[in-house]
Structure 1
Amino acid sequence: MPATTHANLESLTDLVYGALFGETDWQDFLDTLNTRMPDAKTTLFYHDSVAGAGAFSLCSGLDDTGLEGYNRYYCTINPWMPKAAVRPVGLGVIADQMLPHAELVKTEFYNDFMRSIGCRSSVGVTILRENNRSFNLSTLTSSTDTGFNRVNADLLTRLAPHLQRAFDFIRRDKAGNETGRSLFDAIGVGLIYISEGRQIRSMNLAAQQMLATDAGISVTPTGRLSSSDRDLREHLG
């Protein structure tokens, strides 16, 4: 069985809440989780199932070449994502549950991307899913030991409630906090903090880019948030 470190649930949970409150950062969490599996590349990333694309946002163990290759092209042919888009939120899984390994090794994704970074399989969990976009935590690894990989997938299941709680806290209660804005910038989520009357109080860089590219939201001359989507306008009040 591949060797592991002592990065356990307790220490990883401490790092989640440490990152949430600014005592550490999310890179520390990913770096520590990354020590659990051989030749690991751990990433917090998003995927849009409608657009058929996504990006590795925060990573540990993956160099710039691998990161650029995934974000530019391989995200569009990731063979795990169709099932990842519908799997239960919060359930850690091994790659074989998304696609049998015998089928994976026939794909361009495996032969041109996975092999180039020294990996053969993965474990992952969906943290959140909204409007066809999922936010995931995954470790790519050279291990094809299903028992060993299952242990690590089960750890992700146990970590998921803490990650969900952290994301929810940032979105609802810490929208104006620099830690919250930087996390959601990194995973491509626009975050706008509004007061009564839809007056914008603050927003992160991703939200600014959405406004600049006419992504369905806009700001009125009086500084109020508006949207071309009727359901969203009704929700905003």
Structure 2
Amino acid sequence: MIYEAVLDDTLWPSALTRIADAMGTAQIGLLSLDRRARTYDSIAPRTDPVMDAIFKKYWAFHNPLWPRTIARPVGEVFLLDSLIPRMDFVATPFFNEWMRPAEFSIASMGANLLVGNEISTNLSVANAPGKDEITGEQTLIFKAAMQHVERAVRIHRELRMRDLDHDTAPDRLECLHRGVMLVDGTSRVVFANAAARALLNSAGGLALEAGCLRSRDGSDALLQGLIVSCKRKAHTRNGPGGGISIHIGPRRSLRVTVTPLRAKGTVAELPWLGLQIPVAMVTVSTPSTEKSLS
């Protein structure tokens, strides 16, 4: 069912529940946290909806385990006990004010599906209260399930990228003379063609900071606003996208145009996977490229 869920997002709760049933665990969840954008998404079919809402509102950004989990390599299965001593953890407000009321045992296990650029996506399970040890059989089942979930996530990302309009496919953009980048909703550059890479490496008006696109001439707030306006649920007065000029020297400037990307809709958006799916195309023109194209 995991692979069926790649095409039908409504099947993910059932797919995760089957993994939990096979393991004999009370809780299971796919969790994605973006620290830079301060956004959190999850799918946790067995967690009480009220407790899940409380976690999303507060504990997602005050969970003492997050800084420890992001230090673990993608795919490595780890126990909660390997992150923090059990006696220390049971004394934390997080355990006493959220985990215990939500009926999570101290016996829990997880693995990262994605770590990088201040984003992490994690699959985790927990036993019911009173079952305070993860068994060897549970670990083996979890490791086997992780292999399939990892593969399903890769397939989903590939399908989402292919779901973009044909004219914005990376292989069609690579050879264009003007710089073109595909960015996600937090300005992370998912793709940059050769011309764009040259511009970013030229110490001009645009730069990458922690993988995110920035302007250097004081117009960064405008650039970020244009990119955010291209997000699917964004509501802006002037509509999505637009253009600005970025100064790169005396009488020289770059013309930057931000255009919203719209997928064909054949593959669902799954925010709790934390994938870097582009929402906008950023096109950069210099006077020389504009002349060559005219």
TM-score, normalization by structure 1:
0.66
> In the aligned structure 1, how far is the partner of 2:58 from the partner of 2:24?
26
* Partner SS state of residue 118, structure 1: coil
Distance in 2, Cα, partners of 1:54 & 1:222: 23
Q: CA RMSD in A?
A: 3.6
Q: Does 1:86 align with 2:142?
A: no
- The alignment status of 1:68 with 2:53, answered yes or no, reads yes
User: Retained in 1: the 8 A contact 2:181–2:282?
Assistant: no
Secondary structure in 1 matching 2:231: helix
Out of 122, 146, 155, which is 1:169 matched to? 155
Candidates 105, 109, 120, aligned match of 1:123: 109
Q: Counterpart of 1:226?
A: 282
**Contact kept in structure 1, 2:63 and 2:94, CA below 8 Å:** yes
Contact 1:74–1:109 (8 Å) recurs in 2: yes
**Alignment partner of 1:209 is 2:221:** no
SS of equivalent residue, structure 1 residue 125: strand
Q: What aligned pairs does 1:191-210 form with structure 2 within 5 A after superposition?
A: 194-195=168-169, 196-197=172-173, 208-209=230-231
Which one has the bigger helix percentage?
1
Deviation track 1:44-77 (CA, whole Å, cap 9, x = no partner) reads 11123556x5535111211221111100111122
Deviations 1:167-207 (A, max 9, x none): 11121234466xxxxxxxxxxxxx9983234698xx9xx99
Give the CA deviation at 1:115. Answer: 1.0
CA contact (8 A) 2:105 2:132 kept: no
- 1:152 alignment partner in structure 2: 138
> What letter matches 2:101 in structure 1?
S
Check the 8 A contact 2:230/2:259 in 1, yes or no: no
1:140 maps to 126
CA distances 1:146-187 after superposition (whole Å, capped 9, x unpaired): 351x5423433332232222111121234466xxxxxxxxxx
Inter-CA distance 82–199: structure 2 relative to 1 (3 Å threshold)? closer
Aligned length: 192
TM-score (normalised: structure 2): 0.55
Q: 1:156 to 1:55 in 2, by over 3 A?
A: farther
Distance 2:283 2:131 in 1: 47
Amino acid at match of 1:60: P
Three-state SS of the structure 2 residue aligned to 1:113 is helix
- CA offset at residue 119 of structure 1? 1.7
| Bigger mean CA offset, 94-103 vs 155-164 | 155-164
Q: CA deviation at 1:29?
A: 0.9
Q: Structure 1's 222 and 19: CA in aligned 2 closer, same or farther, altered over 3 A?
A: closer
5+ long unaligned stretches in structure 2: 174-179, 186-227, 243-256, 261-279, 285-294
Q: Distance in 2 between matches of 1:79 and 1:192?
A: 41
Which of 5, 13, 17 is 1:31 aligned to? 17
Q: After TM superposition, give the deviation of residue 126 of structure 1 in Å.
A: 0.6
Instruction: Report the counterpart of residue 95 of structure 2 in structure 1.
Output: 110
Amino acid corresponding to residue 165 of structure 1 in structure 2 = R
Using the TM superposition, give the Cα deviation of residue 84 of structure 1 relative to its aligned residue in structure 2, in angstroms: 0.5
The aligned residue for residue 188 of structure 1 is: none
Larger displacement relative to structure 2 (27-36 or 83-92):
27-36
